Structure 1
């Protein structure tokens, strides 16, 4: 496990949590009572409400989500690290994200950066934590309004690396990835799907808990972000209703049969999380700020219900 320091971290390095969490206000934040007209250059396409914009935007996201996904078998080319080491790293980064109060999207982008970099570069086990902290540093620059200083990141790693090592690794990572950090994550789709299904706050956090569990599990790289998000909201919706079939609006472009494998893997992961050695995500979602939803996660009885469909 990685060592970490937080006790004496400057207060300014911790993001303020003031204000109410608003979910379902993804990407566009347009007023629903206005009419919007696309310019002549777009053939005078008229979209009457913001919902039309949402629909068009997410069609594009569905079409482009695979553009920046790592190969599902990239770990085979790594000589000194494995999927278990990756899981330990990400579980540690979840703790960092939670204690530093970074945006949730920062964590998802961080994991994507790590996986894409590991796909393209050989990394030793001694460098893996450095890759993780630099990936989060890059993600913070992209997602956060207040970015931590390098000295704060070094402090968190218990001085495992120097400032020069952080700068060199960050430079190498952005060059290898060609500065491509505009990606589509499963969290983006969750925001949309939760809004469509009118999730309450607790249901949203439960679905997000499921998504974060998949970040640690290397096997989920093979699934598209939208499929993982759809699987999570389907499970939460069925869990809250206790019955009924998986039939949803067209804005969630999946039938149950299309994501059954992903959903089954997710259910197994949810159940495994109760007893797995890595408890960072479970502990995070056991707090009051996350409405203690990890205590509500469906159990093995729910697994049997899903398998029977």
Structure 2
């Protein structure tokens, strides 16, 4: 029988790893409070968006949650789930397609009208289509780019414009370890996650007031995890949600522009802060020896 932690160990960056929420990332901890913040979550109608991000930020005491999905069907249920956690949270449901510029513009106009600003954006909406480069229909292959790249760009741009250059903000992009791997049949999805990671690096460099972090949510038993991955999918929704809450605090600012796996210990990441920043770890880089000096 396969070790259910095998994939976690292969991507292990900290000595300690987790598969469920733990004290350092507990959303109800005062040190992780999101009090006063307006949090926007895309793809909030189901899966990780609903079970991880929405519920954890509600537990962390956010002032308002803007829940975004392509259809209105599940949003009322999500709203009631939020209010069952805290009746003090303002919940704004918005139907929007992240791939459509007009729809995204309308979303941010609603946020501006209701709250004047947003403090945290969680780019969770995404798609995964399988097919090899040789056999996949080009339009089917490109669908992941429409949502995972175009959608992430449009939503992020709207957030940045509303935020301006003075107020502090946080963007959390739902990343994936698959963006760093070469898995046959997943070229489109993998490439979109790779590009999205580079996009957040540009956001971090171009906007000193914004912290942008890519977060691999772990292996959770959702409809996007199938087949060979199922025997290893034991991470909880609370682990992803708690990590996201922690990443939206000042403690995580040193991870700006970087990639983080929810299985890693955030306490150990903080302990290794100087190493991570100074040696540019957790960045996407080309490995090798470069420069003429090596040949002199």
What TM-score do you get using the length of structure 1 for normalisation? 0.25
What TM-score do you get using the length of structure 2 for normalisation? 0.26
Structure with the higher fraction of residues in strand conformation: 2
Structure with the higher fraction of residues in helix conformation: 1
